[in-house]
Amino acid sequence: MSSRPVTPNTLAFIGPSHAPELAEFSYVRVRTVNGDTATVQVVGPDSDEDGQDVVVPVSTIELRGVDATEAEL
């Protein structure tokens, strides 16, 4: 299985085991990529417009990336 490139606006589904700052599993959208880390923002109906920013390894996003249409479910 080949991973998708991690770029700004990539959507992923991660939880506390991936980012201890998170209290529960959440959708996150990549804001920036800097080397082997990505800054992501929590998105979804339960988050406000300025959702929490979290820094995670790019490899986490590669493994947990989801199709953008999943955000509309």
Report if residue 57 sits inside a domain: yes
Q: Which of 5-9, 33-37, 49-53 has the highest mean pLDDT?
A: 33-37
What is the rounded CA–CA span in Å between residue 10 and residue 29?
6
Closest by CA position to 7, among listed 33, 36, 34: 33
- Residue 1 has a pLDDT of 42
- Confidence (pTM): 0.78
Residue that the structure tokens 């417009």 belong to: 49
Say how many domains are in the chain. Answer: 1
pLDDT bracket for residue 69 (50, 70, 90): low
Report if residue 56 sits inside a domain: yes
Report if residue 52 sits inside a domain: yes
pLDDT bracket for residue 60 (50, 70, 90): confident
Domain span at residue 56?
A: 11-68
Report if residue 39 sits inside a domain: yes
- Structure-token pair, residue 15: 């939880």
- Structure-token pair, residue 46: 């339960």
What's the mean pLDDT when you consider all of the chain? 83
